[in-house]
Amino acid sequence: MQISRITVLSGGMGGARFLQGLLHGVRGGTLPGVSPDAQVTVVANTADDIWVHGLKVCPDLDTVMYTLGDGIDPERGWGRREETWSVRTELAEYGVEPTWFGLGDRDVATHLVRTQMLEAGYPLSAVTEALCRRWLSPVHGEGLRLLPMTDDRVETHVAVADADADEPSGRRVMHFQEYWIRLRASVPAETVVMIGLDRSTPAPGVLEAIRDAELVVLPPSNPVVSVGTILGVPGLRAAVRDTAARVVGLSPIVGGTHVRGMAEQMLTSIGVEVSAAGVGRHYGARSRGGVLDGWLVDTRDEDALPALRDAGLEAAAVPLMMTDPDATAAMAAAAVSLVAPGATA
């Protein structure tokens, strides 16, 4: 039997790059046992979302949408290609804060459309679907769906030690985007708080996409502030645990560190060992109450395999650097083979 329904729980840049390779492999027929027509559903993190200058910005949704819709700036890895920055310059002239958040002129159009639709009463999932009609449908037809994890407002905030802070605790709490963009994650994160997460509900179609999938993939996204928040939406972790699909993940930690991003700071803040084995054990085997059947690590982390197998996971080591769509498609193929070796080509 061929796999025809795949659901991926994605953050921004790591998830988007993986999806690009996955789709390349699926449609090119190079994924063992996966139908070239397979339906791919992306459940994206929305806890990075931020209101800036009156606009609702959804960085991870947009990174996935622009990347898979061929509108991304390939060098930056976020925002629109051929971007200009007049709006940002004009706002800075007015002295309007925040000045650290990069709102490109082309990008602003997306945020304007989104904000208007939200204010007209549409839920984020409906807004996302409308935006994807421009970006994804022309390239991918009906075979690709992008869903926000929830329609509710959820925001990741980060506490950092700050001697100058007004608060008696000597800490400063800021939106995740400020920690990442303004501070460049250069100071340790003491605590990460997901505001509103425990009261959120999965967006329409999310639980069904997990329940009805034949393969669920945790891409090499940030395990705390991307996949961690998605799994934190009430009901979502249970859906992954209970799905009849096989569940496979790929390590975002290679050779003891994140490749790009700040998974290291986030893992440290929640006390998880920064290693491929540490993240695999953090997600855990479904047979032992976790969310994974299989965990793929980089060849550099081959030493971790015995410990992962002891933890009840199927595990293998292959190159995990997403250098181009072919290399990434090979990672996706290895992930499928790890958990669905019986699927026929």
**Shortest approach of ligand GDP to residue 73 CB, angstroms?**
13
**Nearest CB to Ca ion, comparing residues 48 and 301:** 48
* Chain residue whose CB lies nearest ligand GDP: 14
Closest by Cα among 224, 150, 148, 230 to 185? 224
**Shortest approach of ligand GDP to residue 137 CB, angstroms?**
23
Q: Which does 215 bind (CB under 5 to 8 A by kind): ligand GDP, Ca ion, none?
A: none
For the packed helices 124-135 and 59-68, what is the interaxial angle rounded to 10 degrees?
A: 20
Residue 263 identity: A
**Shortest approach of Ca ion to residue 101 CB, angstroms?**
14
**Nearest CB to ligand GDP, comparing residues 233 and 343:** 233
Is the separation of the CB atoms in 301 and 275 below 8 Å?
Answer: yes
Closest by Cα among 200, 217, 56 to 131? 56
**Shortest approach of ligand GDP to residue 62 CB, angstroms?**
10
Looking at residues 59 to 78 of the shown chain, list those that interact with Ca ion (rule: CB under 5 A): 60
**Shortest approach of ligand GDP to residue 257 CB, angstroms?**
8
CA distances from 254 to 14, 60, 146, 204, 320 (A): 13, 22, 27, 34, 8
Q: Which does 322 bind (CB under 5 to 8 A by kind): Ca ion, ligand GDP, none?
A: ligand GDP
Closest by Cα among 222, 283, 223 to 247? 283
- Residue count of the chain: 345
Please report, as ranges, the residues that interact with ligand GDP according to CB under 6 A: 10-15, 60, 63, 220-222, 226, 251-252, 254, 258-261, 263, 320-322
Residues in touch with Ca ion (CB under 5 A)? 11-12, 48, 60
